[in-house]
Structure 1
Amino acid sequence: MTMKFKRTGAAFTAILLAMPTLLVSAETNDTSKEEDSPQGEGSFSAKHEVVYATLTATGEPGEMYVVNNFTVEEPGKLMDYGPYSSVQNLTDLTGIEQEGNEVQFTAKENEFYYQGNLDNMPLPWNFTVTYLLDGKEIDPNQLPGEDGEIELQIETTKNDSGEELFFENYLMQISLTLDSNRFKNIEAEDGALANAGKDRQVTFTVLPEKEETFSVRANVTDFEMNAIEIAAVPSSMSIDAPDTDEMQQEMMSLSDATAEVNRGVGGLKDGISELNSGVAMLFDGSAQYRDGISQLQANSSELVNGSASIQSALQQMNDAVGGAGSGSGMDVSQFSQLGEGLRQIAGGLQEVENGLSNLSGQYAQANEALGQSINSIPEASVSEEDIQALYESGADPAVVDGLVENYQAAQTVKGTYAAAGEAFQAISPALDTSAGSLNEMSSNLTAMADQLDSSLASVDIDESIAQLQGGLETLSANYNAFHSGLTEYTGGVDRLAGSYQEVYSGISGLTGGTAELEGGASRLHNGTAELASATSDLPDQIQVEIDEMISEFDKSDFEPVSFVSNENENVEAVQFVIKTESIQKDEDDQEEESQDEEKSFWDRLLDLFR
């Protein structure tokens, strides 16, 4: 109690000592104002407004006042406007008259200040501050003295009730000053951290026309926090356009390269289209060849059966003639039947020969069609570098894989045909040779029948029979060899027909693949054409985007307006200084701590009298 009294007495003494000076100063000021106060109309060259606003800890609006500053050109009476609930002269002791929204005062200094208090005046922004302790939302009044993991979420949005011009043109800076003894492991995404003495300062920036949400996390001990400070000023800096010449040249090179890729893909598409046409012709020729081989296979059994009948008939004739002799009592009329039989055999051989000749012609046509189709496949002209370049061009990898697979399949078919070409070419001459042998045998049999008929009356029967027997033995032996060759040949035809079905199936699959490949190449070309078209004016597009971006953030042409009234003139600047309530423990809890705090000016002044 004694200590408190001593402090009070010392403070009272100091006030008494200072009061005469204050009274003299006030008296002097009043006298000077009465003598020097200008009576006429004054003028000012510029007006500045600083809007001070307080928020609750959660961001709800609180008190607000405006400090108005005038740069006086001509001392005298000045007029200002604003819906103030009260006004106060901050320059001298002269009074200020207020009637409605009109504020009238007399200014004689170069700089004049007065304060106007506002009620229910909306800010251009809404603020919401949310506090989470250990992941759970908490009332800020319950936070002082708490320990744990703290998270602050600060949200700024446009206030539709406020003046839109400030939201569109003002840059906001949100600052939090955190005691480094209380807050550890501070994390602030999108925020800048800096040291401020023994404290840590976190700063967020909100660009004009933007709504943002920021977050600060930290481990806290014995929670206390100073006010969140928000400053809003015009974003009036001018943004110079960057030098984009080099970038435009690079983009032009990219545009040219894209166009070149499109041309290359166009050529690839044309080549694949030609490949697909050639494979289609190959498929048609292969179908004709397959049909010819199938027909040849179907006729082979008839050829073999017919040849077997001829072989059996010759053997029977040879046996019959061999059993006959001069003393056998053979009827000479049977020789005339023998001649007729020889002619029938000759006719049968002629039919077989005709069948082989027709078959040879059909095979030749089918083989020629197949050869033309195979040869229509373009020679290999795509290198591994070309294929790799196609993969790196940005084309669809699935389409490129299809292109490469079908290209390789086509080249495989072409190579296989080239390797087996001699075998295909040998079939037709073999058919011709067989047909020629049959023709020769048919002619020989016919000649034998004619000789037999002409010599029956004049030739010794026994001698003729001996000659006939010798001729039939030779003919039967030769025909046995021919029949064996014919049987082997038809077996080869059967194997060829069975094997070629696989070749035909492969060519059929190749045809479907190249058709799909052509469709994929066409789609690829459409895509590269669209890409080339989209990038043809890429440098100009980039410049337009840069200009639009600069115009979005360049607010250098902003002309300030008054926050309180659009009737105010010569407004040179308007600034906003906004603060939330600090979150502190009760004074009783801090009394012991406050003894160790730095002494104020008044404490040091009073210490002079202690």
Structure 2
Amino acid sequence: MRKKPFTYSALALMLFLPSFLAVPAQAATEGKVASKDEVVYATLDAGGDLNDIYVVNTFEVTHGGKILDYGDFSSVKNLTDLKKLEQEGQKVEMDAPEGKFTYQGNMKEETELPWDVAVTYSLDGKKIDPSQLAGKSGHLDISIDTAENKHTGSVFYDNYLLQVSLNLPNTYENIEAADGMVASAGKDKQITFTVMPGKEKKMSVEADVKDFEFKGVQIAAVPSTLPIDTTGTENMTDDMSELSDAIGKLNTGVADLKSGVSQLNNGAAQLRNGSAQYKNGINELNGSSSQIVGASNSIGEALRTINQSLSANPADMDLSALNELPDGLNQLADGLTQAASGLTSLQANYAQAYSALDGAMAEIPANNLTEEEIASLYKSGADPKVVDKLVASHKAAQKVKGTYANVKEAFAAVGPTLNQVSGSVNEMSSQLTSISTNLSASLQKTDMSGLAKLQKGLGELSANYVEFHSGLVKYTEGVGQLSSSYGKLHAGMAEFAGGTNQLEGGVADLHDGTSKLHQETKNLPDKMQEEINKMMSEYDKSDFKPVSFVSSKNEKVSSVQFVIKTESIEKEEKKEKKAEPKKEKGFWELLMDLFK
């Protein structure tokens, strides 16, 4: 009954032994490779320190045969078939069939990743070692820091984008991740961060955990091929062009404002100077009023004395004293004429100053900036200090214009009043001159026979002079009041002139600021386009040509990717007692079993 199995077993042994003991020699042919892909797998401990690295190398073989690869491997393993790989130093030789051929290379211990990764854990605000964290409960903070490894080349750090992700069970509450995206992934919450090429980043995840376990941090590093849509940049540069044009118009408007304020300041200065002359003149006139009144009073007394003397004893009257009266009247008339001349000159200066002031006020724009327009200025990117000066100057100018509008009627009434007062003084001077002339003529023609007629005329003159003197007193009282009131008006004009001078200085500073702002922003669209291009060149790595991670000698590398993972943090489970393993049979024992 065992003969037949023995026959089959012997036959199998006969077929097996020759193929096992001898391999026919074949001439090796040269293979051809179209491309090579590398996937770098790295495992880290829970704190981010590197444990080991191995690389899966995949070739696209267009013609089967012997191919070479290079890498600083501690060992290699064929993942495609059972053929042995030949390793000599950094050179790996393999007989690859047509199609995809894959082998694994385990990197030597001294190999490092292009990134430094540090993972720290805090529980309830206190740092905790990850080995002590499994099964704990409380408020957990996981911090992940990535930075450039200065001991390696920067080609991967500068061109690769990192996607850092970690999963937490849905049972954990109050999950927060600043700058991270939180999404549901089955029974877990997946938190994902993105680290741009050439950038360091600190990431943090917080949660309230119970009976903590953690699957670890996963990091994928791939070339940055972010699609950057530039269609919207045209609208942005157009907006910047509008802003630049608006700043240019603003600068032109401030220049016009500067010119108008300068005219206003000149007009205010002229007004102040004219007002000072008027004030001095009215003060001098007021100062001489007592002299005029005294002289007039003396003339009145003289007229009454003469009239009484003529009435009491005309025969004994000495007319020589009467001859001095016309001279006194002429002197008084001359004083009034000089006062009228001063008032006329004052009126001319005032009219000139008032005209300059009125013109300067008209130059100030009447349009008031709205709160929305002011807010737009602050949002435009202009220097806030310059905008503050602009707004303050604008408000001051509008206040001055409003104040002037309220007092314009008072300013306008000064000129006609001065004309009226000057005319009245001239009229009084003319009356005194006429009285003096008539009196002098009467005295020259009068003798004792006409004394009665002279007495009558002097009586009428004395009576009329009382009325004239009363009017003169009222006039001097009015001059006194005008002098007192105008002192206050002049003080206001001087203060106004000082304010316009400060305003001119402020607007000049403002114009300097807007000019600089205009110079800095007139090419704003071009500068913005340059920044956009710079940003695109910084993050768009579409022109990056992959290089091998394992050796610079490798060619035709089409892609290199990194898959990095930290160890999980798990609770220890009770180990079940395992049965003693059966001793495996050796080759000869198995061979002998074929004959049983």
Tell me if structure 2 keeps the 8 A contact 1:375–1:414: no
Which piece of structure 1 moves more, 107-116 or 569-578?
Answer: 107-116
Amino acid at match of 1:559: K
Hey, what does 1:120 align to over in structure 2?
Answer: 110
- Give per-residue Cα distances to partners, 1:215-248, cap 9 Å, x unaligned: 1111100011112111111113554532544444
Tell me if structure 1 keeps the 8 A contact 2:257–2:364: no
Residue in structure 1 matching 2:150, options 144, 154, 160:
160
Compared CA separation, residues 575 and 114, structure 1 to 2 (3 A): same
Compared CA separation, residues 387 and 88, structure 1 to 2 (3 A): closer
Unaligned runs of 5+ in 1: 1-19, 593-610
Hey, what does 2:160 align to over in structure 1?
Answer: 170
Hey, what does 1:576 align to over in structure 2?
Answer: 562
Equivalent residues in 2 for 1:52-67 (5 A)? 52-67=41-56
Hey, what does 1:185 align to over in structure 2?
Answer: 174
Tell me if structure 2 keeps the 8 A contact 1:173–1:231: yes
Compared CA separation, residues 352 and 486, structure 1 to 2 (3 A): same
| CA distance in structure 1 between the aligned counterparts of 2:326 and 2:576, rounded to whole angstroms | 141
Tell me if structure 2 keeps the 8 A contact 1:50–1:577: yes
Q: CA deviation at 1:364?
A: 0.5
- Give per-residue Cα distances to partners, 1:534-564, cap 9 Å, x unaligned: 4433333332222222221111111111112
| CA distance in structure 2 between the aligned counterparts of 1:581 and 1:247, rounded to whole angstroms | 47
Amino acid at match of 1:424: L
Q: CA deviation at 1:591?
A: 7.4
- Give per-residue Cα distances to partners, 1:448-502, cap 9 Å, x unaligned: 43234xx14xx2xxx72x4444333222212211111111111111111111111
Hey, what does 1:426 align to over in structure 2?
Answer: 420
| CA distance in structure 2 between the aligned counterparts of 1:392 and 1:423, rounded to whole angstroms | 47
Amino acid at match of 2:224: S
Is 1:499 the counterpart of 2:485? The answer is: yes
| CA distance in structure 1 between the aligned counterparts of 2:207 and 2:313, rounded to whole angstroms | 129
Hey, what does 1:357 align to over in structure 2?
Answer: 337
| CA distance in structure 2 between the aligned counterparts of 1:390 and 1:492, rounded to whole angstroms | 51
| CA distance in structure 2 between the aligned counterparts of 1:584 and 1:95, rounded to whole angstroms | 38
Is 1:375 the counterpart of 2:346? The answer is: no
TM-score (norm 2): 0.85
- Give per-residue Cα distances to partners, 1:120-140, cap 9 Å, x unaligned: 212111111111111221111
Amino acid at match of 1:185: N
Compared CA separation, residues 84 and 391, structure 1 to 2 (3 A): closer
Tell me if structure 1 keeps the 8 A contact 2:37–2:59: yes
Hey, what does 2:289 align to over in structure 1?
Answer: 300
Q: CA deviation at 1:566?
A: 0.8
Aligned residues: 550
Compared CA separation, residues 369 and 36, structure 1 to 2 (3 A): farther
Hey, what does 2:30 align to over in structure 1?
Answer: 41
| CA distance in structure 2 between the aligned counterparts of 1:387 and 1:43, rounded to whole angstroms | 76
Amino acid at match of 2:502: E
Compared CA separation, residues 351 and 393, structure 1 to 2 (3 A): farther
Compared CA separation, residues 78 and 472, structure 1 to 2 (3 A): same
Is 1:135 the counterpart of 2:112? The answer is: no
Hey, what does 1:440 align to over in structure 2?
Answer: 434
Q: CA deviation at 1:275?
A: 2.0
Compared CA separation, residues 144 and 469, structure 1 to 2 (3 A): same
Is 1:226 the counterpart of 2:220? The answer is: no
Identity across matched positions, percent: 43
Give the match's secondary structure for 2:508: helix
Which piece of structure 1 moves more, 286-295 or 82-91?
Answer: 82-91
Amino acid at match of 1:373: A
Give the match's secondary structure for 1:340: coil
Residue in structure 2 matching 1:323, options 288, 307, 312:
312
| CA distance in structure 1 between the aligned counterparts of 2:429 and 2:355, rounded to whole angstroms | 30
* Aligned CA-pair RMSD: 2.9
Tell me if structure 2 keeps the 8 A contact 1:561–1:574: yes
Tell me if structure 2 keeps the 8 A contact 1:38–1:108: no
Is 1:147 the counterpart of 2:137? The answer is: yes
Hey, what does 1:345 align to over in structure 2?
Answer: 325
Give the match's secondary structure for 1:146: coil
Q: CA deviation at 1:54?
A: 1.2
Compared CA separation, residues 303 and 434, structure 1 to 2 (3 A): same
Which piece of structure 1 moves more, 213-222 or 530-539?
Answer: 530-539
Hey, what does 1:597 align to over in structure 2?
Answer: none
Compared CA separation, residues 36 and 351, structure 1 to 2 (3 A): farther
| CA distance in structure 2 between the aligned counterparts of 1:398 and 1:41, rounded to whole angstroms | 84
Tell me if structure 1 keeps the 8 A contact 2:117–2:144: yes
| CA distance in structure 2 between the aligned counterparts of 1:185 and 1:318, rounded to whole angstroms | 117
Which piece of structure 1 moves more, 559-568 or 65-74?
Answer: 65-74
| CA distance in structure 2 between the aligned counterparts of 1:392 and 1:219, rounded to whole angstroms | 44
Tell me if structure 2 keeps the 8 A contact 1:156–1:211: yes
Q: CA deviation at 1:99?
A: 2.7
Amino acid at match of 2:89: G
Give the match's secondary structure for 1:339: coil
Tell me if structure 2 keeps the 8 A contact 1:342–1:446: no
Amino acid at match of 1:313: A
Unaligned runs of 5+ in 2: 1-8, 378-386, 578-596
Residue in structure 2 matching 1:242, options 228, 231, 234:
231
Compared CA separation, residues 152 and 392, structure 1 to 2 (3 A): closer
Which piece of structure 1 moves more, 79-88 or 347-356?
Answer: 79-88
Hey, what does 1:449 align to over in structure 2?
Answer: 443
Is 1:75 the counterpart of 2:64? The answer is: yes
Equivalent residues in 2 for 1:196-215 (5 A)? 196-215=185-204
Hey, what does 1:399 align to over in structure 2?
Answer: 393
Residue in structure 1 matching 2:502, options 516, 519, 523:
516
Q: CA deviation at 1:577?
A: 0.9
Hey, what does 2:5 align to over in structure 1?
Answer: none
Hey, what does 1:101 align to over in structure 2?
Answer: 90
Tell me if structure 2 keeps the 8 A contact 1:149–1:220: yes
| CA distance in structure 1 between the aligned counterparts of 2:535 and 2:156, rounded to whole angstroms | 20
Tell me if structure 1 keeps the 8 A contact 2:261–2:364: no
| CA distance in structure 2 between the aligned counterparts of 1:495 and 1:34, rounded to whole angstroms | 136
| CA distance in structure 1 between the aligned counterparts of 2:549 and 2:353, rounded to whole angstroms | 86
Hey, what does 1:485 align to over in structure 2?
Answer: 471
Q: CA deviation at 1:512?
A: 1.5
Q: CA deviation at 1:366?
A: 0.9
Tell me if structure 2 keeps the 8 A contact 1:58–1:140: yes
Is 1:272 the counterpart of 2:261? The answer is: yes
Compared CA separation, residues 265 and 444, structure 1 to 2 (3 A): same
Give the match's secondary structure for 1:375: helix
Q: CA deviation at 1:345?
A: 1.9
Compared CA separation, residues 142 and 565, structure 1 to 2 (3 A): same
Is 1:539 the counterpart of 2:525? The answer is: yes
Amino acid at match of 2:329: L
